[in-house]
Amino acid sequence: MSFISMENITKRFSKAGGPAVNGLDLSINKGEIITLLGPSGCGKTTTLRMIAGFEHPSGGRITIDGVSVFNDSHSIPPEKRGIGMVFQDYALFPHMTIIKNVMFGLNKWSSREKKKRAQEVLELVGLEDYADRYPTQLSGGQQQRVALARALAPKPHVVLMDEPFSNLDAGLREKMRYDVTNILRRAETTAIMVTHDQKDAFAVSDRVVVMKDGIVQQIAEPKEMYRCPKNCFVAEFVGKTNLLKGKLDADGQHFHTNIGKVMLPQQFNRHSLDEVKLSIRPEGCRLSDEGAYCGAVERVTYGGEYQELHVRLHNEPDLRKDPMLIYAPVEQDVEVGTTVSFDIKSELVALVE
């Protein structure tokens, strides 16, 4: 049985407009870390707020640890749902010490129990030596860990995190992805995060839920979602890709496109496919002197870990269509105007709707 279950959840803010969340079904296991990923306005934050009890669904059912916290006949208030919340701005009290911030939500605990539990979670997040400092004396990453410690202190059923890394610079952001994940794993806590950043979602999550216009597009593990996106939106939202129109070959193993025949990672039943495209990840295109595909480099962008090559294939002279995007090693000298050859690895090719 799922630890958290959302069944046919819908949310409308007005009768005139469309639903902010439309028929969402989601089951989460105990100890699992899930991320709701999508652009602004896709319904991910509304979904988080409905789980927390800050928003009432227009219909559906939400169950947490076997208890129905919302259905068409009743709704349990937020403070009784056993939820810890980490807000985007951390929401720490500046006039309170770190340990008092962590103790704040432990209303029904004795003073001795409060202090003991606060010390335990501060040790868990590596801030036991900062108990008597104030939030303004801590870095952004440390403040985030305090906010997480406060959310974990009451031993909640689930921790909800709303864009937890958005206020951090790039270097600290990468470190905090690891730190937060490690803390949640050690605490054996179920967690749901909201973000619009694919790297945040992939680094932290067991599974990712991609949303668009209030509708779930795909639920999958990060690796599966990147390699096998379900549709064009997911393919483009969770990373850069090349989308090509074409037709499935009679053998079900190849796809005919305007750049030539491309091998697929598995055999498909052509009768089950209609109006599909091919998604080819840039890193799936490997430069080779004897590659099957050939074109001229129109633009080179240095990305630090790799170079982005925009290649106009010789058999695709139509300038209205985007050139192929290929990742090349940074140590390889490639200049605009040169001709390159490459092969396509079928493992990073997917048919998408």
pLDDT band at 251 (very low <50, low <70, confident <90, very high): confident
Class of the domain covering 4-227: alpha beta
Residue range 230-252: average pLDDT? 91
CA distances from 38 to 44, 61, 198, 229 (A): 7, 23, 9, 14
Which pTM value belongs to this model? 0.93
Q: How far apart are CA 111 and CA 43, in angstroms?
A: 40
User: Does 4-227 match 240-352 in CATH topology?
Assistant: no
Residue range 283-306: average pLDDT? 92
State whether residue 94 is helix, strand or coil. coil
The confidence score (pLDDT) of residue 169 equals 87
Vertex 143: Cα angle to 88 and 197 (nearest 5): 40
Q: Per-domain residue ranges for the chain?
A: 4-227, 240-352
The confidence score (pLDDT) of residue 176 equals 92
Residue-wise pLDDT tens digits, 167-199: 888 888 999 999 999 999 999 999 999 999 999
Residue-wise pLDDT tens digits, 45-72: 999 999 999 999 999 999 999 999 999 9
- What is the distance between the terminal CA atoms of the chain, rounded to a whole angstrom? 32
Fold of the domain built from segment(s) 240-352: OB fold (Dihydrolipoamide Acetyltransferase, E2P) (2.40.50)
